[in-house]
Amino acid sequence: MTESWTEAKLAELPVKGGVRQRGVDMTRLETFCDAAFAFAVTLLVVGDGIPRSYAELIQSLLGAPAFAASFASIAYFWWAHRTWSRRYGLEDGLTSLISLAMVFVMLIYVYPLKMVFTAFASFASGGYLPTEFTLQSSSEMVGIFAIYGLGFAALNGLMGLLHLRVLRAEQDLRLDALEKMRTRQSSTQFLVLALTGLASMIWAVALPPSVAMFAGFWYMTLPVSMPVLAIRQERKIRKMEAG
């Protein structure tokens, strides 16, 4: 299941963020996940083609803000999975299944992701920034928010499950008290993110289109909820270290 950790081996490991880095060496699964996330990024630009004139070049560059936002979203999930792999180096049947499920969801999620950000960029700029997608009605916009919310909730939920799996294997990994607390905190953070996406999805599908079209505003709660959660968690860490 995982390497047999002894105190001597653990003492040799680098420490980052209060957690010993057990997964320094990349595994075949991690390599596959990295390649899949890289492929998801290429899907953001496939179909646009190479500009054949100056006007087409400018039109392509105007899509950079939406591409940057979509790229950042994919990079966030890649980084979260990479951080988890580096911290714990855990690779068994269940964690492999969860990681593969993340890849599966990401490859489905990439097109709704691109559609949401290009549509938002076009709306926010008054149509100056281009969008390749056309929505015929408010109900179609509601559907996009529902699909996006489901993908966002699924990816964060899967990351939360990976951390919960680590807690189940704490004896094999020989987690110390600080590492267990850090792991619980990470699982809580991903749970809050997943519930936010789920709330947005439910808002979109359960309410009339005139109200449901504001489902995206749920994500605006994250700049408040996540820092508040992080501050509370750091206080617990300091209290534990002081004790």
pLDDT at 193: 97
The token pair that represents 38 in the structure block: 């890289």
H helix runs in the chain, sequence order = 7-11, 28-43, 54-61, 64-88, 93-124, 138-168, 170-173, 177-206, 209-212, 222-242
Would residue 10 count as lying in a domain? no
Would residue 66 count as lying in a domain? yes
pTM of the full predicted structure? 0.89
Which one-letter DSSP state was computed for residue 84?
H
Instruction: Indicate the number of domains in the chain.
Output: 1
pLDDT at 97: 95
Task: Dump pLDDT digits (tens) for 74-132.
Answer: 999 999 999 999 999 888 899 999 999 999 999 999 888 888 888 878 777 877 777 77
- In whole angstroms, what is the distance from residue 174 CA to residue 190 CA? 23
Which CA distances in Å does 24 have to 2, 84, 102? 13, 11, 21
- In whole angstroms, what is the distance from residue 138 CA to residue 115 CA? 15
pLDDT at 52: 83
pLDDT at 45: 75
Q: How far from chain centre, in Å, is Cα 197?
A: 11
Would residue 18 count as lying in a domain? no
Would residue 212 count as lying in a domain? yes
Which one-letter DSSP state was computed for residue 220?
G
pLDDT at 2: 54
Which residue numbers in the chain have pLDDT < 50? Answer: 1
Would residue 9 count as lying in a domain? no
Would residue 236 count as lying in a domain? yes
Which residue segment(s) compose the domain that 60 sits in? 24-242
pLDDT at 203: 94
Would residue 8 count as lying in a domain? no
pLDDT at 189: 96
pLDDT at 61: 83
